[in-house]
A and B are shown apart, each in its own frame.
Chain A
Amino acid sequence: MTSRTSNVSSSSRGRDEPARPAPTSVAPAPPGKPFQVKLVLLGEAAVGKSSLVLRFVNNEYQDNKEPTIGAAFLTQKCRLDDKVVKFEIWDTAGQERFHSLAPMYYRNAQAAVVVYDVTKAPSLDRAKSWVKELHRQANPNIVIALVGNKLDLVVSSGVPRAVDAEEARVYAEEMGLLWFETSAKTGEGVSEVFTEIAKKIPFDLLTPRGRPNAITGAAGANGGQNSVAAGADGRVDLGIAGGAQAQSGCAC
C-alpha cells in the first residue's frame, strides 16, 4: 500500500493496539480546515458494517457486535496529502425493513461504502441493489466503494468463500466502483477503503468548512424529513442550508 494518506490520530494501526479515545478530541490540530465528507454505509444485515466502522474509527473489534437499529453516527479524521478529511459516517441498519430510512442517510452523501460478506452469496446481490439505488437516487458524483468483508473467515477459519473475488472485482469495475476485500476482525484492508475514497473525492470543488456548523448533518436530517414526510418544504433556514450543501456536492 503506497498511500500517502494516513490516519491523523493513529499513524500505526497495529492489530493489538489498545483502544484509544475518540480521535476527534485528541488529534493534533490539523493544518487548515478539514474537508467534511458525509459517508454512508449500506449493505445486508450482519455483513459487518458496524465492525468495519469500529475498526476504522477506534481500531477495535468486537465479537457479536449488536445489530444497528436506525443508524449510528461516527466521525474520523484522515490526512490526505496537505488536506485533512473529516469523515462523517452514517452506519445504517441492515435489515431490509429499514430500507425506507436509507434515503435520509445517503441523500447528500459524498461517499458510500456498500458492504457484503464474502462467505454469503446473497449479500452481494443485496449490495448490487444498493449500488443501483445509489446510482438512481443519490448525489450523482457520489464515490461508491464495494467492500467484501469477513475475509478472515476465508483465510484462517476455513469457511468456504461464496463470493468470487474476480466476479466482484469485474462487477465493480463495470459499475465504476472502488472494490476491496477486508476483514474488520484483523483490520486487513480497512483503512485502504477510506483512503481510496478520500482520494477520489473531488475536493477542488469543495470548500473546506472550518466552522463545521452541522450543515451536512442538518442537510441529512432535512433530507430525511423530505424523504419520509413527503411534501414537507424546507423550513426556516435549514432547507436553504441543506440546498446549498447539496449544490456544493453536486457541482463537481
Chain B
Amino acid sequence: MHTPILDDFMFGVRRNLKPPDFRREECQLGVLTFSFKQDESDSPKGHSSSSSATSIIIGRAQLLKDLSHPNLCQYVEILKGRRDQIYVVSEHYDKSLLSEVEQSGPIVSIERLRRWTFQILCGLCHLKDHGIAHRNIGTNNILLDPKDNVKISNYGLFHMTVGGQEVNFPIGYPRYLSPELIVSNKRKRSQTSWKQDVWALGILLFELHTGRTFLSDAPTLSDLLTTIASARTHPETGVITNLTDIERWLEESSLDADLRQFAGACLCPDPTRRPDPQSLLSHSFFANIPPAPIPPSHQTTLADDVEIDEDDDGVLTLRFGRDGPVKRLNPGAPGKRSQPSDTDVRVVQPPERLTLREVFYLWKLSGGDVEVELAKQGLGWSPSIYRLPTHVRSESRVHRPAASHDGIKPDSVSAGSLSVNPRPAPVIVEERERELLELYSDRVYTMSLASVRSVLVEAADPNPSQSDSGGTKGSVETMPVNNAYFWFDSVLCPEESGDDVIPQARIPLATRERDMRYQYARMELFARMLLEWPTEKEQLIVEAKVDIPPIYRGKVWAALLDVEGDVNIEYLEIDKETETETDRQLDADIPRCHQYNELLSSPEGHTRLRRVLKAWLAAEQDRLVYWQGLDSLAAVFLSLNFNEEALAFACFQRFVGKFLGNFFVHDNSPVFQEYMCSFQHLLSFHEPALSAYVHSIGLHPDLYAIPWVMTLFAHVFNLEKVYHLYDKFIVGPPSLPLFFGVAILAQAKESIMTREFNECMLLFADLPESVDVDLCLTHALQMCKTTPNSLLPVAVSGGKLNSVDEDGESEGLESIDFLSRPVDVRKQELVGRVLFHDALKMLPHALVLDVRQADDFLSHHVFHSMNVSSLELDSVVTYLRLAAEETTYVLILADEDRSLAAIRLSQQLVSLEFEHVVLVDASFEILSTQAEFIGHLCGCECVSETFTKTTDGASPGDESTIEIEICHCSSAAPKF
C-alpha cells in the first residue's frame, strides 16, 4: 500500500521546519563567519587550495540545515563569500546563559538550572542522533528564547569542519575541555565523541551555579590546560580529585543533592565512567520532568493557519484559497510596525507562517546580502590599524585587552589558543597565533527580522505603492497563440488558449524570479497545493506551467513526476555499495561533473552522486546501463534535493523513465538513430531552409546533438539553465526536448546559414552561453502543437502508434507500412513521412500534391489535390507557393511506381523553403483500400493550367520554351 507522501517527509514544506517565533523581536538571524588560512604548507590534509576546504565544509554543512529541534537554533544557510570567507546564518537570540550570569550573577534557582540542563541534554541527544557532537559548548553558545527556553547555538562548527581538520583554528573553549581531550593527540581530538560535551556541561553548571568563570585565575593558557589535565578519578567512587575548584563546589553543603550527583557524574575525569547524554536524561535530577517532550509548534498545518487567518480582527487577514488570494489590510496597521505590540503581532502574520529559510530566501530577494550587511557592522574591510593583535603573548603571559574593537569578548580570545603546546611557546608561535585569531571570532553578527518582516507585510499589501509596480506589471507581450492547429494533441501547454493566459506569464521569467512580492505569493500558493497533493494535482500542473518558485522546485518536481510512497524505504533497500564494473567510470566522471557548483564539487556531493547513480544502476538491474552523461543528469536532481538523496533518486529515476528510457540500454544505436532521423525531419518540417542548408554542408545531427538528446541538455547548460528547462520539460510532452533542439538551431539560423561546416561546428561549442532558453522553449512549445505525431520517435509520440485502435482506426496499415521501413532508409530522406491517421487529419488542411501519372490522377484523386508529375518546379513555384499559403500543410502522395519522385519533390520543396511538407507514408494503392480514405477521393474532370518555362540554351538566342501543365481537382471539397 502506498502512503501518500503528504504525510511523511516530503511535503512537510511547512512541517519539517520549525516556524520561527516572529512575534518576538528577540528572534533574529545570526551570522557567524570564519575562514581558514591559505597556507599550502600548513593546509590540512594536504589540500592544495583553500577552495577545496570550503567545498568540504559547505558540503558537510548541508546536513545541519535539516536539523530541527525546539532546543536547537535552526541553521538557515551556509554561504561562501569573497576570499572563501564562510558565513553561517542561523536562528539567533540575544539572551544567552552568559548574559544571564553577567546580569544576575549566580543562578540560584534549582528549577531553572534543572530545566535548562534538561533542555541542553535534549538538544545534545538530538544532535547525537544525527551523529553530531557539539564540542563548542560555552555559556555564550547556549542561548535563551524569550520564554527562557534553551536554544543551543553554534553546534555545527565541529561537524562541518570535519572535527576542526579543515580549518586552522581550534574549536572549543579551553576551559571547557575535558582532561582526556587535552592529553590526546590532534587526530583523536577531531574524532566525534559526546563525552566531551558532557564534561563541558558539568563545567557549565559550575559556572552558572557559582557565577564564576572556571579557572579564571589561571595565569596562562598552559597553566589552565595543565590544571584540567591533572584531574584524576577516584578509583572507587569515580569522583573527581585533584581539581580543587570543582571538588570544593561539589562539596558545598548548600548544593542541591541531585544537582551535586548530576554534576559529579558529568565531571568524572575518566571518560569511560562518564555517562553519555542519553543516559543522563533519566538521571534522578530530572525525576519530575516528563521524559519525552513533544516539540511544540511542529504540528502546524495549513488548516490551523486558515483558522487563524479567519479570526477576523480587522487588522490583517490573509488567505490564499482556491478562489484566489483574499487579502485585507487595516489601513492603520502599517504605521504600527515600528512599535511591537499585541496588535502588531497580527500585522506580521504572513511571515509567521514561513520557515526561517524561506524568510531568509525572501530577504535575499528583497536585496538582502549577508556580506553587505556584515560590512555595515564592521566586518572585513576595516583598516589594518584596527586589525592589530587583540592578543599578544610576551614570554609566557597572556595579556588580554578588555574588549577589542569588534566586540570580541576577552573570553573568546582563548578560542585561538588551543593549538599552543601547554609548555611555554617559542616566540615564533605568537605570530601564527595572531594570524589564527583573524580567521575566526565568536562574534555573531545579527540581522534583525524586523526589516524582513516589514517588507513581507508590505508584500502582502494588495494595493502596492507605485514604487514597486514595475515588479508585477510588465509590458511584455503575451506569447502568441495559434489556434489553427486545434486538432493536434496540443497537450500540456499553458498558453493553450488566448483567453486563459495567466497575466504573470507575460513578464519575463527572470524578472518574476527576482520579484520578492511575486515569489512570496507563489510560495503561498505552491505550499498549499503541495500540502493538498494529490488532490490538487491538476491545479499544480496548471500553475507549474506558468512557473515554479525556485525555493520549492525539488518538491514540486517530485509531485509532478508522481513520486509516491516512502521513497526512503525504497532507497534504503537498494544495494548502493557492492562494487561493480561501472565504478571505475563513475570515479572518473563524478569529480568532473558540474564542478562549478559548490555542493556537487564537495566530497560530500561526490559521495552522494555516486550513491544515487549506483542506486539507479542497481534498480534498473541489467536493463539500463551507465553512459557518460548520466552523471550530469543525476546531478540536476541531487543538487535540488541534496539532503534528501532518496527523493533525488526517485525523481531522477522517474525523469529518465519519462524522457530517456531507451537511451541507456546496452546498445542504444537504434534508438539513437531514430531520434536523429526524427530530428532531421522535424527540422525540415519547421525550418526547411535551414534544414536544406545543414544537409547540404553535411552538418548532421549525429555530429552535434548526441549530448543534447542523451543528457537532455544537462551536459550542455549550467544547472541554472537546466532547472528552467526542466521546469517546462516536466510539465510538457515527452517530445518537448526534441523540439527544444530544433528551436536552438532555429535561433541560431542566421549564424548557421552564413557559415561553413567547420565554423558551424565551432558555433555549437559556444551554444551554452548564447542560447536563450526561454525563447527556445516558447518556440518549441509552438512547434509541438503543430507537428503530427508520426514525425516523432515512437518513444515520445505519446504511444500513438500502439494505440490507434482506440479511435477505431486501422492499426495494421501503419504498423506494417511504417515500421517496416528501416530507420537507415528513413534517415536518407530529408523529409518525414506521416502515418495514415495523421494524413487523414491533415487532408482538409493541406495542399495535396500528387505525383502519380496524369492519367491515374484524372481517374481518381483526393479532393482539391494537384498533380505535379513534372519536376520542373522552377516555373510553377510561385503558383505552388500561393496555393500552399491557403493551407497549413503540404502533403505529397505517390503510388508505388513514383515513390522516388515523391522523395525528390519533397526535397525540392524543402530547398525552396516550403514549410510543413510531409510525405504520406502509404502508397496510393494501399490508401485506396481504406474506407476512410476513399471518402476523400474525387473523380472530376480536373482543370489544367499551363505555365511556360524558358530554358537557357547552349548559346545566346538558343532559348527554348517548355510548356508545363498543372492539373488540379475542380470540385469543392465535401464537408467532413
On A, residues with C-beta under 8 Å from B are 22, 24, 45-46, 63-75, 88, 93-95, 97-98, 100-101, 104, 212-214, 216-222, 224-225, 228-233, 235-236, 238
Contacts and interface: CB of A to CB of B under 8 A. Distances in A.
B946 interface: no
B109 interface: no
Given A214-B698, A232-B827, A71 B762 contact: no
Given A100-B669, A224-B703, A212 B756 contact: yes
21 contacts: A45-B628, A66-B595, A66-B715, A69-B629, A69-B715, A70-B710, A73-B761, A93-B628, A101-B702, A212-B758, A214-B697, A214-B758, A217-B758, A218-B697, A220-B703, A221-B703, A222-B698, A228-B673, A232-B827, A232-B828, A235-B828
A69 B711 contact: yes
B699 A217 contact: yes
Interface stretch (B28-36, B285-293, B323-331, B586-594): B586-594
B591 A69 contact: no
Contacts of B627: 95, 97-98
A225 B589 contact: no
A221 B585 CA distance: 28
B interface secondary structure, majority: helix
A65 B589 CA distance: 10
A231 B824 contact: yes
Residue of B601, B632, B703, B710 with most partner-chain A CB within 10 A: B703
A111 B222 CA distance: 69
Contacts of A228: 669, 673, 702
A74 B715 contact: no
Given A67-B589, A67-B592, A218 B757 contact: yes
Nearest to A93: B628
B407 to A, nearest CB: 40
A56 to B, nearest CB: 15
A66 B593 contact: yes
B765 interface: yes
Contacts of B669: 100, 228
Contact of B756 (A71, A214, A225, A230): A214
A123 to B, nearest CB: 10
Contacts of B593: 66-67
A45 B585 contact: yes
A69 B716 CA distance: 10
A228 B828 CA distance: 12
8 closest A-B pairs by beta carbon, nearest first, are A214-B757, A218-B698, A70-B706, A229-B824, A46-B588, A69-B707, A217-B757, A73-B761
Interface in B761-784: 761-762, 764-765
B589 A45 contact: yes
A79 B605 CA distance: 45
Interface of B: 585, 588-589, 591-595, 601, 625, 627-629, 631-632, 667, 669, 673, 696-700, 702-704, 706-707, 710-711, 715, 756-758, 761-762, 764-765, 823-825, 827-828
Nearest to A229: B824
Contacts of B588: 45-46, 67
B673 A229 contact: yes
B823 A229 contact: yes
A54 B550 CA distance: 35
A21 to B, nearest CB: 12
Contacts of A45: 585, 588-589, 628
A71 B827 contact: no
B598 to A, nearest CB: 14
B601 to A, nearest CB: 8
Given A217-B697, A228-B669, A98 B628 contact: yes
B840 to A, nearest CB: 30
Contact of A225 (B631, B700, B761): B700
B702 A221 contact: yes
Given A67-B628, A93-B628, A75 B762 contact: yes
Contacts of B715: 66-67, 69
A224 B698 CA distance: 11
A226 B181 CA distance: 71
Given A45-B588, A64-B595, A97 B625 contact: yes
Contact of B702 (A66, A218, A224): A224
A213 B711 contact: no
A176 to B, nearest CB: 30
Contact of A73 (B595, B700, B762, B827): B762
Contacts of A67: 588-589, 592-593, 628-629, 631, 715
Nearest to A46: B588
A9 B498 CA distance: 55
Given A66-B715, A93-B628, A221-B700, 20 more contacts: A63-B595, A66-B592, A66-B632, A67-B588, A67-B715, A69-B706, A95-B585, A95-B628, A97-B627, A212-B756, A214-B698, A214-B757, A217-B697, A217-B757, A222-B698, A224-B702, A228-B669, A232-B825, A233-B828, A236-B696
Contacts of A22: 762
B827 A229 contact: yes
Contacts of A74: 762, 765
A19 to B, nearest CB: 14
Contacts of B764: 73
Contacts of A75: 758, 762
A64 to B, nearest CB: 5
B707 A225 contact: no
Contacts of B667: 100
B703 A73 contact: yes
Contacts of B595: 63-64, 66
Contacts of A97: 625, 627-628
Contacts of B707: 69-70
A100 B627 CA distance: 13
Contacts of B631: 67
A239 B589 CA distance: 37
Contacts of B628: 45, 67-69, 93-95, 97-98
Nearest to B668: A97
A89 B593 CA distance: 24
B759 to A, nearest CB: 8
Nearest to B759: A24
B606 to A, nearest CB: 11
Contacts of A218: 697-698, 757
A94 B585 CA distance: 10
A77 B226 CA distance: 71
A134 to B, nearest CB: 20
B667 to A, nearest CB: 8
A228 B698 CA distance: 15
Contacts of A72: 765
A46 B591 CA distance: 10
Contacts of B703: 70-71, 73, 217, 220-221, 224
B781 to A, nearest CB: 26
Contact of A46 (B589, B706, B761, B827): B589
Contacts of A222: 698
A62 to B, nearest CB: 10
Residue of A93, A104, A214, A221 with most partner-chain B CB within 10 A: A214
B345 to A, nearest CB: 51
Nearest to B672: A228
A68 B673 CA distance: 20
A69 B764 CA distance: 14
A217 B697 CA distance: 8
B706 A217 contact: no
A50 B592 CA distance: 12
A218 B702 CA distance: 12
Nearest to A22: B762
A229 B710 CA distance: 19
A156 to B, nearest CB: 11
A64 B585 contact: no
B561 to A, nearest CB: 24
A129 B629 CA distance: 24
B700 A46 contact: no
A65 B696 CA distance: 33
A69 B710 contact: yes
